[in-house]
Chain A
């Protein structure tokens, strides 16, 4: 036991003496949280829409007034007058404007005559986010114009009442669970992968192997140290990320306990997995080369960025065995939903079992000799 703790002591002293690991394992996830959290999920504003008015009647004026209201209120787009429909379409293609609305001749008359009036909207659908947003705004304008001036006393259309269980979840909050998981993964990758192989190639392990330390003491010592580092990274990023994203559950005891259990289980699972992957590796280039591959292979299929439900079958199969899936689900359940232990018990069970299983396999594969 003392010998195992000597390994842990050495690793932890190195960890605190050289803060690079801590800083680097936190830096990328925090940057991701800040940049992606602000870049994605925000409302689109300031687009330019060309208006080609062939009608110039009262209904066309009403429509243009509605556009003007959008330009000064929610500011999704502002309008630019065009005389030529051909020029407007060309400018959409070349990116000078983001869309073009065409009010045809006789539009006002058709509205009054209820004779199937139509508006044309040309969009650049190579950018689905912008075109989708503009289409949405245009549809709202059209719906508002179509609405009867006097509402009937008895509604004759089916209405869907949406009840949101949680307060508004912006993209930064949505990213937070993935960011915590990523910070722990990077910590394990650097501390348990890169440094482990570097120590091996520098001959540090040769020094250990010449002492009476047992195989299990050595394996558990290195893994315990790796798990402690990952837990520290996880705690730091949970606190920093929650404060940045405005998630308040970290100040309540029960979610705090749930988060700690999730961090513990995740660190075990990630460490076990990394040790299993690296147990027979000797070349220091291998962990560096596989860093990006593993990141892509494990992080993206987990539902961190996009729902697993939309994946094809083979990608869902990866998600099922991917510890990231359960880690992110568990962190979401606690951080965003305050779901309590009932919501994370399966995640905890999977992660602990995965960690123990991979560690035991790795211990079997670990060679007590060079």
Chain B
């Protein structure tokens, strides 16, 4: 876990969610193994992890959908085990699947959920109008849900979760299955909701970019345990080497490796193919400048040179040790930079 992120999340602002050594067992299988974290009010908190890591189990325990085997979870100050009804009144939950009724209109879907939350009739109308505006579906109010596009249906799901003005919003993979444009629209919408409604959000996602752009803090879960927690920046800094420089010399020479290792900030050098090297460095810009100078002095020509920042993908793979499990069947071309202390 990076720094004191868990404590800091709760320290600055009041806690909206507090999870303390929570465990979920199914027979002999332990899906969640004593996970602890807290989410501050107004924060967007991301749960990242491969398939089967325990993200959905965690979110279901926090939303009272499944009982915890051990440990404690407080949501909006209420114990989910002892006072589930109080928790349910204060949270909005968007499951992964699109569960709005395709045969009902947008308004009818929202109205039925407002009734399930016992929103008074006068307030119901206002809330429906307000959430439809927030998700930009006002003009589709009377449309049958089955006529909406995937992105619009996802926005309707989000509106449905907000129709009773919850304080805490749980979203299970809110952009799964959306095209990139719709995904960006949902991100913008969630950011707006956060600022307009002072919502605390906890979301699970498979998309590193989504977590990077949306979340104030991220927890990476794997095999039911919390393996990293922090802001996206903290997590990126926690991975050795801030930048990766990729250089391709026109001429191969056995001395390139040794020369590259002597450059400032370089932590490791990995030979990929003839004349092609991946250089892990704490300062991409300085290493690049020195590399160009070195090539000029030696009269060597560079075929290509690129500098990359550490991404959450690197962080994810660093902590979970692989790509997302549902992508493992695809050919993986990306090679991880070696960990500090390991030979390339």
Contacts and interface: CB of A to CB of B under 8 A. Distances in A.
Interface of A: 2-3, 5-7, 9-10, 13-14, 17-18, 202-204, 206-213, 369-370
A210 B63 contact: yes
A194 to B, nearest CB: 15
A202 B97 contact: yes
Interface in B66-122: 66-67, 85, 88-89, 91, 93, 95-97, 99, 101, 103-104, 108, 112-113, 115-118
A211 B108 contact: no
B107 to A, nearest CB: 11
A6 B113 CA distance: 8
A203 B95 CA distance: 8
Please report whether the interface of chain A is mostly helix, strand, loop or mixed according to DSSP: helix
Given A206-B95, A210-B91, 15 more contacts: A2-B118, A6-B113, A9-B115, A13-B104, A13-B108, A17-B104, A202-B97, A202-B99, A207-B160, A209-B64, A211-B113, A212-B88, A212-B116, A212-B117, A370-B66
Interface of B: 60, 63-67, 85, 88-89, 91, 93, 95-97, 99, 101, 103-104, 108, 112-113, 115-118, 160
B68 to A, nearest CB: 11
Return the 9 tightest CB-CB contacts between A and B, nearest first: A6-B115, A210-B93, A203-B97, A17-B103, A211-B116, A212-B88, A203-B99, A207-B99, A10-B112
Interface centre among A3, A5, A9, A210 (most CB of B within 10 A): A210
Contacts of A3: 115-116, 118
A210 B88 contact: yes
Contacts of B67: 369
Contacts of B160: 207
| A3, A10, A18, A369, most chain B CB atoms within 10 A | A10
Given A210-B65, A369-B66, A370-B60, A14 B104 contact: yes
B290 to A, nearest CB: 56
B22 to A, nearest CB: 15
A337 to B, nearest CB: 42
Contacts of B117: 211-212
Nearest to A218: B116
Contacts of A9: 112, 115
Contact of A370 (B65, B112, B115): B65
A18 B65 contact: no
8 contacts: A5-B115, A10-B104, A207-B93, A210-B64, A210-B95, A211-B116, A212-B116, A369-B67
A35 B112 CA distance: 43
B176 to A, nearest CB: 13
B103 A13 contact: yes
A14 B101 contact: yes
Contacts of B88: 210-212
A210 B97 CA distance: 14
Contacts of B63: 210
A201 to B, nearest CB: 9
Nearest to B65: A370
Q: Which residue, of B64, B104, B116, has the highest number of chain A Cβ atoms within 10 A? A: B116
B115 to A, nearest CB: 4
B99 A6 contact: no
Contacts of B103: 13-14, 17-18
A18 B101 CA distance: 11
Contacts of A6: 112-113, 115-116
A258 to B, nearest CB: 35
A216 to B, nearest CB: 13
